Amino acid sequence: MQESDGKRMQWVSHMVRIRDDRDQAAFAALFAHFAPRVKGFLMKSGADASLAEECAQEVMATCWHKAHMFDPARASVATWIFTIARNRKIDVLRKQRRPEPEDLAWGPEEEPDQADVMAMQQESEQLGQAIAELPEAQRELIQKAYFGDLSHSEIAAQTGLPLGTIKSRIRLALERLRHAMK
Amino acid sequence: MEQKITHHLTDEILMGYAAGTLPEAFNLMVATHVSLCDECRARVESYDAVGGAVLEEAPDHDMALAPGSFAATMALIAGGAPEEICTQHPQDAVLPQPLQDYAGGGIDSIKWRAVGMGVKQAILPTSKDASARLLYIPAGAAMPDHGHHGIEMTMVLQGAFQDDDDYFARGDVEVADSDLHHTPVADIHEDCICLAVTDAPLRFQGLLPKIAQRFARI
């Protein structure tokens, strides 16, 4: 296992400690890493510094309150925090509701398999590396798309993202979840 | 979950949903389709993962926080979780949860308005950059022939429709751009109910539908 894989698993265990023990030290570490990123993301998306600061604090507080909703067999912690930040952006900057799909969640008695969690975290790491290795121009285009600087029709030509393996991994997690929900 | 969905959403729409850059009506289409389609749910969540990678590696990842930021966040947390206006609707055979949120309940609570030739519609409240409506097409009836300026997506919720050589059943989405003139015809076995979203007003061919369009806002 590479060191960075360990990093992602470490964030997962921080989330578990926040969820189960309301562990403030774990939350402080998560905050130190992700709060500046969330603030930067929101400023790139058009928020001024004070609004981005306020929203970043709200996003991190949501991570605490909704720790039980995080499913490490389906996403990395960075991905999960991204979705919370994105929803806040739509709410505050675009002043719209965000329709979400019907919920799929593990029941109180069930947990995802640890091997599935490891595999998902490694897959996330590899996706991050693959994106980092893209040509500069293409990587910038992807960033622009997520900061909201490109419309969906402008990203139509956006291909070459290596998403096949992570999609299969998520598909597998969804099947296990469907099975557990029966 | 439904099986055998054969007509899915496009990558650009799914990526736009993950990035949070679509009009609200399009988001409603994605949320509704994904509620019935695990294949597209996995694709959306892959695009979420791209967002996670962008967040992790963004050029501004070391943005300075305000002094006292962490303490302020802990104070927010101590104030308790904000109350969520999250109504869990009873399961409905036709409308998945996100649609029930916009329709204000199940299929029986829809206030339909006739738009001519037996077709009825109900406009859903979304932001103005695109529109969403439910369509009710009697079994065997055709929608008026129409083309459009922008993107139109139509998803079957009940019954089925045929458009040229393609057959669309519950969960299937037809994505049409401005080049496509199409005439969906509802399957004969059951009245067809669809969710239709578009980012431009529809253009109907022929006089009668045009007049109907003025009054019915379609």
Residues A97, B24 contacting (CB under 8 angstroms): yes
Sketch the domain layout of chain B as residue ranges. Answer: 1-58+65-218
Could you tell me where the DSSP H helices lie in A46-135?
Answer: 49-65, 77-92, 114-132
Could you tell me the CATH number of the domain that includes residue A168? 1.10.1740.10
Residues of chain A found within 8 Å of residue B53, distances taken between Cβ atoms:
78-79, 124, 127-128, 131
**Domain carrying residue A21:** 3-181
Residues B113, B120 contacting (CB under 8 angstroms): yes
Task: Please give the C-alpha separations between residue A160 and each of A93, A121, A156, B27, in angstroms, as whole numbers.
Answer: 30, 21, 12, 24
User: What pLDDT was estimated at residue B110?
Assistant: 94
Alpha-carbon distance of B115 to A124, in angstroms, equals: 49
**If DSSP codes are grouped into helix, strand and coil, which group holds residue B24?**
helix
Residues of chain B found within 8 Å of residue A24, distances taken between Cβ atoms:
74
**Nearest-CA residue of chain A relative to B91?**
A102
Reported as a pLDDT band with limits 50, 70 and 90, residue A83 is very high
Domains contained in chain A, number: 1
Q: Do A36 and B63 touch (CB under 8 A)?
A: yes
Alpha-carbon distance of B152 to A64, in angstroms, equals: 39
Q: Do A74 and B66 touch (CB under 8 A)?
A: no
pLDDT in tens, A138-162: 888 888 889 887 776 666 555 568 8
Residues of chain B found within 8 Å of residue A28, distances taken between Cβ atoms:
70
Task: Please give the C-alpha separations between residue B186 and each of A126, B29, B122, B176, in angstroms, as whole numbers.
Answer: 46, 20, 18, 17
* Cβ neighbours around B176 below 10 Å, total: 20
Give the position of tokens 């008695």. Answer: A109
Domain B1-58+65-218 -> CATH class = mainly beta
Binned average pLDDT, 10 residues per bin, chain B of 218 residues:
79 92 94 96 96 86 87 94 75 93 92 89 90 93 70 93 90 84 84 91 50 51
- Interface probe with A: pick from B15, B46, B99, B179, most Cβ of A within 10 Å: B46
pLDDT in tens, A10-39: 999 999 999 999 999 999 999 999 999 999
Nearest to B148 by CA among B200, B216, B191, B187: B200
A1 pLDDT higher than 90:
no
Count, residues in chain B: 218
Q: Do B63 and A43 touch (CB under 8 A)?
A: yes
Q: Is any Cβ of chain A less than 8 angstroms from the Cβ of B97?
A: yes
- Interface probe with B: pick from A15, A22, A27, A82, most Cβ of B within 10 Å: A82
Residues of chain B found within 8 Å of residue A146, distances taken between Cβ atoms:
19, 50-51, 54
Q: Is any Cβ of chain A less than 8 angstroms from the Cβ of B103?
A: no
User: What pLDDT was estimated at residue B136?
Assistant: 94
* Cβ neighbours around A154 below 10 Å, total: 15
A122 pLDDT higher than 70:
yes
Give the position of tokens 């009009």. Answer: B23
Q: Is any Cβ of chain B less than 8 angstroms from the Cβ of A6?
A: no
User: What pLDDT was estimated at residue A137?
Assistant: 85
Among A residues 59-98, those touching chain B with beta carbons less than 8 Å apart: 60-61, 64-66, 74-76, 78-83, 85-87, 89-90, 94, 96-98
Give the position of tokens 């285009």. Answer: A141
Nearest to A5 by CA among A126, A115, A153, A158: A126
Nearest to A173 by CA among A127, A115, A128: A115
Q: Do A58 and B57 touch (CB under 8 A)?
A: no
ipTM above 0.90, yes or no: yes
A41-58: average pLDDT: 94
Smallest CA–CA distance, residue B188 to chain A, in Å, is: 30
Cβ-based contacts under 8 A for chains A and B: 208
For B49, which of A41, A79, A86 is closest by C-beta distance? A79
Q: Do B69 and A97 touch (CB under 8 A)?
A: no
Q: Is any Cβ of chain A less than 8 angstroms from the Cβ of B55?
A: yes
Alpha-carbon distance of B113 to B115, in angstroms, equals: 6
Element (H, E) at B116: strand B113-116
A54 pLDDT higher than 90:
yes
User: What pLDDT was estimated at residue B209?
Assistant: 52
Q: Do B98 and A100 touch (CB under 8 A)?
A: yes
Alpha-carbon distance of B179 to B94, in angstroms, equals: 30
Smallest CA–CA distance, residue A37 to chain B, in Å, is: 4
For A79, which of B38, B52, B62 is closest by C-beta distance? B52
Q: Is any Cβ of chain A less than 8 angstroms from the Cβ of B171?
A: no
Q: Do B60 and A44 touch (CB under 8 A)?
A: yes
